[in-house]
Structure 1
C-alpha cells in the first residue's frame, strides 16, 4: 500500500478538511481584548476579528497559549483549522509539553459546543490519535498526542480504548516508547505531564493510567518482546513504598 493511501492518514486529512469547513469565517468576539504588553498589538488583535486571515506562527502560538481571553471558545473556533494543522505538523512549539495545547481546547469547553461543531473537533482528536499509533510517518510521537488528547477531553478512557484496539507492531512500539518516557515519573508516584486545567484530577488520571499499564500494557509488551528491564519497571508500578524501591529491579531513580 502506498503511504499516501494509509487509512489513518486519509481519515486525518478528512478530519482537518472538516474543521476548515465547520469553522470557516468564524472570528473572536467583537469586544475581545488582551494586554498589549503581554499578548500583542491592537493590529494583531484585529486579525482575530477578521475571518479567513492566516495568522503568523508566533501570533498563532501566543493566541492559543493565552489564558485570559474573555471568550476563549470564540477565539479557539477562530484559530482551530490552522491550529489543528500546526499541531499535526509538529509545529505548535509549546513551552513545556503538548498538554498545553490540550489546555487550550479544554478552556474552550468544546465538548459543550453544538453537535455540528463538537463533532468535527472530536473526530479530529480521534483521527490524529489513530494516525499517531498506526502511521509510520506520523510526525508527533504518540505519547505526546495521547497527552494532548487526554487534556483536551479531560479523560484517558477513549484514548486507552483505542490503543487496545490497535494491536499491530507499530502500535506496540509506540506503547513501549510511551512507557520508556513515562516510567520515571510514574515510579515516583507522579503523572508524566502537568495538569493545569482545574477540572482535571491529576491523581485520578495517574491511577487510571497505572491500572491500564498493569492490566493491559504489561501483557502486551511482554508478548511483543520488549526488554526485561522495561517489563520490570511496569511491574514495579504495582508495588508501593518500601516494596517498590527495595525490589532487586528498582532502577535507582532519585526524586
Structure 2
C-alpha cells in the first residue's frame, strides 16, 4: 500500500481539509485583548483579528496556551486549522506539550458551537485518534493523542470504544505502549495525565480507564508480546490497598 493510500491517513487529511473549510475567514473578537508584557505585541494581536493568516510557531503556541482571552472560543476557532495541523505533525509537544493542547479545546467549549463547527472538531479528533492506532507511520504516540482527545472532550468513553473496535497487532502494540506509560500513575490511583479543566471529573475518567483495561487489556497485551511484568501490573489494578501492595508481583513503586 502506498503511504498516501492508508485509509486512516486519508480520513485524517479529509478532516483537516474540513477544518480549514469550516473555519475559513474566522477571526478573534474585534475587541479581544491580551497583555503586551506577557502575551505579545499589538501587532501580533492584530493578526488574530485578520482571517486566514498563518501565525509563526511561537505566536501560535502563546495563543493556544493563554488562559485569559475574553472570548477563548473565538480565538480557538481562529487558530484551529493551523493548530490541528501542528498537533498532527507532532510539533505541538515540542513547543509546549499536549496536556495544554487538550485543555485549550476544553476551554473553548467546542461542543456548544454550531453543528457544522462542532462536527468538524469531533471528526478531526476521531480521525486523528484512529490514525494513531492504525497507521504504522503515525507521528504522535497513541497514548498522547488519547490524552488530547480525553482532555478536549472531558471523557475517555468514545476513545476507548474506538480502541475496542480497532483490533489487530498494531492497535494491540499501541495498547502495550500506553499501558507501559500509564501503569505507574494508575497503580497509585491517579490519572496518568493532568486534568486542567474544572468541569472534567478526573476520578470518573480514571475509574473508567481502569475498568476498560481490566476488561480488555489482558488478552491484547499478551498478543502484543508485552512483558509478563507489564501484564501483571495491569492485573494489579483490579486489587485494592494491601492486596495490591503485598502481591508478589507488586513492582515496588513508591508514591
**Does TM-score exceed 0.5, indicating one fold?**
yes
More moved, 226-235 vs 74-83 = 226-235
| 1:160 partnered with 2:160 | yes
Aligned to 2:175: 175
Q: Distance in 1 between matches of 2:97 and 2:37?
A: 25
Q: What TM-score does the superposition give when structure 1 sets the normalisation length?
A: 0.98
Q: Distance in 2 between matches of 1:231 and 1:96?
A: 32
User: 8 Å contact 1:105–1:152 — kept in the other structure?
Assistant: yes
Q: Distance in 2 between matches of 1:18 and 1:244?
A: 48
More moved, 93-102 vs 181-190 = 93-102
Aligned to 1:192: 192
User: 8 Å contact 1:61–1:93 — kept in the other structure?
Assistant: no
Aligned to 2:33: 33
Aligned to 2:215: 215
Aligned to 2:69: 69
- Segments ≥4 residues shifted beyond 6 Å: none
Aligned to 1:239: 239
Structure 1: gaps (5+ residues): none
Q: Distance in 2 between matches of 1:10 and 1:64?
A: 26
Q: What TM-score does the superposition give when structure 2 sets the normalisation length?
A: 0.98
Aligned to 2:22: 22
Q: Distance in 2 between matches of 1:94 and 1:69?
A: 23
User: 8 Å contact 1:94–1:101 — kept in the other structure?
Assistant: no
Q: Distance in 2 between matches of 1:218 and 1:210?
A: 12
Q: Distance in 2 between matches of 1:205 and 1:16?
A: 28
Structure 2: gaps (5+ residues): none
* Residues 1:148 and 1:94: Cα distance change in structure 2 (over 3 Å): farther
1:152-177, Cα deviation, whole Å (9 max, x unpaired): 01111110000001101110000000
Shift of 1:224: 3.5
User: 8 Å contact 1:185–1:192 — kept in the other structure?
Assistant: yes
More moved, 46-55 vs 211-220 = 211-220
Aligned to 2:44: 44
* Residues 1:253 and 1:95: Cα distance change in structure 2 (over 3 Å): farther
CA RMSD between the two structures: 1.1
Residue-pair matches, total: 255
More moved, 213-222 vs 113-122 = 213-222
Q: Distance in 2 between matches of 1:246 and 1:184?
A: 16
| 1:54 partnered with 2:60 | no
Aligned to 1:143: 143
